[in-house]
């Protein structure tokens, strides 16, 4: 195979799971395991390329949950089982699970931000002894927009899980309604250096959720965020994802919040 990093490699789709009207999870054959939090440049020749984070990692496969909102992502949704997707990567720095050992971890994810944290939750679901405590706080726009519903139900058995929707639309039988920021107070915090908080979601959600945790005394250094930006190369050359002196594709997408909040687009 060619050594040129810009040439993608073919990977077979071995599973498609429809999550919502807009999102589907594609299980893709993959012989190497990426780090949780990393992303791949996914492409369909003739259509284009897009950065997609990893929403599941297993033996010989990875999951990618893709929202049907753009040119390439729409084309991906027309693909069937056994079709080929073209990938290059993995890129970016990912989460360092070593740092969370014995810690109290809180994961707050908004909307499709739940995708990159799904492998982490799944990992601790199977390796609960590696962590002191895991609290989950998930927010979606509407009940229809909830992804990984079955997974969340299963995770609930082992971890304190708050699932909220911004707008109940009259069909929501869950307990929580309202923005994710309103439920930060319901999480019992641990001592400063015994806890870490991961926040992933749209930029506004990250900003205000982090502010709530900081208000409650969590220090910026203990908050970890993952950022999303337009990318063309994933290799630190095209410049689209640059913020300040940082390139999200190289230095991120995972950042400590004390660095991230200084990054002004």
Partner 1 sequence: MGWKFTNTAFNDLFAGLTEDYIILAPKRFVNRGRFSDTDLIRYDEVKKSDDIIWKEKSTFSPKEAVFPVTQTLFYFTEEAFREPQPEEKQYLVFLRPCDINGIRRPDTINLKNGPEPDSYYANLRKRVRFVMIECTESFDNCFCVSMKSNITSDYDMAVRLTDDKVLLEIKNDDFLRYIRSDIPKIEFRPEFVLENKIKVNVPEVDEMPAGVYEHEMWNEYKSRCIACGRCNTTCVTCTCHTTNDIFYDDNSLAGERRRTWASCHVDGFTDMAGGISFRKDNGSRMRFKVLHKIYDYRKRFGEHMCVGCGRCDDNCPEYISYSGCINTLNKVIRETVS
Residue ranges binding partner 1 (CB under 8 A) = 2-8, 10, 43, 45-50, 67, 69-73, 84, 202-203, 228-230, 232-233, 235-240, 242, 244-245, 247, 249-250, 262, 264-265
* Alpha-carbon distances of 252 from 62, 103, 192, 229, rounded to whole Å: 20, 22, 24, 10
| 94: Cβ contacts below 8 Å, ≥ 6 apart | 34, 35, 36, 37, 38, 254
| Tokens (6 digits) for 196 | 């870490």
Taking the complex as a whole, the smallest distance from the CB of residue 71 to partner 1 amounts, in Å, to 7
Taking the complex as a whole, the smallest distance from the CB of residue 146 to partner 1 amounts, in Å, to 18
CA atoms within 13 A on the CB side of 206: 23
Phi, psi of 126 (to 5 degrees): -90, -15
Taking the complex as a whole, the smallest distance from the CB of residue 206 to partner 1 amounts, in Å, to 12
Listed in order, strand segments (DSSP E) in the chain are 9-18, 23-29, 39-44, 48-53, 56-58, 61-67, 84-91, 104-110, 133-140, 160-165, 176-177, 195-200, 223-226, 242-243, 246-247, 254-256
Nearer to partner 1 among residue 105 and residue 225 (C-beta):
225
Nearer to partner 1 among residue 178 and residue 239 (C-beta):
239
Distance (Å, rounded) from C-alpha 168 to C-alpha 244?
39
Preceding amide of 90 cis, omega within 30: yes
| Tokens (6 digits) for 139 | 């927010």
Which of 85, 88, 87, 82 lies closest to 14 in space, CA to CA?
82
Nearer to partner 1 among residue 69 and residue 169 (C-beta):
69
């Amino acid at each position: 195979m060619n050594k040129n990093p810009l040439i993608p490699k073919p990977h077979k789709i071995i599973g498609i799971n429809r999550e919502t009207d807009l999102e589907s999870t594609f299980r893709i054959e993959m012989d190497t395991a990426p780090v949780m939090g990393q992303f791949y440049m996914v492409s369909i020749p003739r259509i284009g390329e897009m950065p997609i984070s990893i929403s599941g990692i297993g033996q010989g496969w990875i999951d990618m949950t893709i929202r049907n909102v753009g040119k390439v992502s729409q084309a991906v949704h027309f693909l069937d089982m056994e079709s080929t997707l073209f990938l290059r990567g993995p890129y970016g720095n990912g989460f360092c699970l070593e740092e969370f050992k014995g810690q109290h971890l809180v994961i707050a994810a908004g909307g499709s931000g739940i995708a990159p944290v799904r492998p982490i939750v799944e990992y601790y679901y199977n390796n609960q002894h590696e962590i002191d405590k895991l609290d989950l706080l998930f927010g979606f726009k509407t009940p229809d927009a909830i992804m990984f519903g079955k997974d969340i139900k299963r995770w609930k058995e082992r971890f304190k899980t708050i699932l909220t929707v911004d707008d109940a639309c009259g069909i929501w039988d869950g307990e929580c309604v309202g923005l994710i920021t309103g439920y930060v107070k319901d999480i019992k915090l641990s001592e400063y250096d015994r806890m870490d908080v991961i926040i992933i979601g749209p930029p506004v959600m990250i900003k205000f959720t982090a502010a709530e945790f900081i208000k409650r005394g969590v220090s910026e250094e203990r908050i970890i965020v993952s950022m999303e930006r337009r990318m063309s190369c994933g290799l630190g050359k095209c410049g689209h994802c640059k913020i300040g002196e940082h390139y999200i594709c190289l230095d991120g997408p995972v950042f400590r919040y004390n660095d991230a909040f200084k990054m002004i687009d």
